[in-house]
């Protein structure tokens, strides 16, 4: 499974906004600076989130971006879909057996289910100390 930078940065931007929900608006520049990424690239991703109506912007001295709905109503799946992120477990091949096709479908559905059932609220309220795992197949 591969998640591109647009998926990662989109999710990061949204978690920053979730942390600031009903407290303050955030600029793309400030978030990009924190993450040490290109603000021009992040702006392109944020434009997609805005088109999907996941975020809204306000102009002016106290302007910036904020979530368009509460964090518990925004799933990881919605964010990835908005930025055009495709999570591909494995492409099916015409030579795959019925059992292999079943396995690939089950894996896809399981990951999709986790993404659909994990909200921004879940991400910002999870324990701070989570062990990092790298899985190699």
- Adjacent-strand bridge partners of 58: 64
Domain membership of residue 11 (yes or no) is yes
Domain membership of residue 136 (yes or no) is no
Q: Which domain holds residue 106?
A: 5-125
Domain membership of residue 130 (yes or no) is no
Q: What is the pLDDT of residues 78-103, one digit of tens each?
A: 999 999 987 766 667 788 899 988 88
CATH of the domain at 59: 1.10.10.10
pTM: 0.84
Q: What is the pLDDT of residues 41-56, one digit of tens each?
A: 999 999 999 999 999 9
User: Looking at the chain, which runs of residues are DSSP E strands?
Assistant: 55-58, 64-67
Domain membership of residue 57 (yes or no) is yes
Residue 127: count of CB within 10 angstroms of its CB: 5
Rounded to whole angstroms, the Cα distance separating 55 from 98 reads 42
């Amino acid at each position: 499974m591969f998640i591109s930078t647009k998926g990662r940065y989109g999710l990061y931007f949204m978690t920053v906004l979730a942390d600031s929900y009903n407290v303050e608006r955030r600029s793309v520049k400030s978030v990009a600076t924190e993450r040490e990424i290109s603000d021009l690239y992040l702006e392109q991703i944020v434009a997609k989130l805005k088109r999907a109506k996941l975020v809204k912007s306000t102009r002016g001295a106290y302007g910036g971006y904020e979530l368009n709905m509460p964090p518990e109503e925004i799933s990881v799946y919605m964010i990835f879909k908005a930025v055009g992120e495709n999570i591909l477990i494995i492409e099916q091949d015409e030579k795959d057996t019925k059992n292999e096709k079943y396995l690939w479908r089950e894996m896809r559905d399981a990951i999709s289910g986790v993404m659909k059932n994990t909200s921004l609220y879940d991400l910002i309220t999870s324990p701070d100390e989570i062990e990092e795992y790298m899985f190699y197949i």
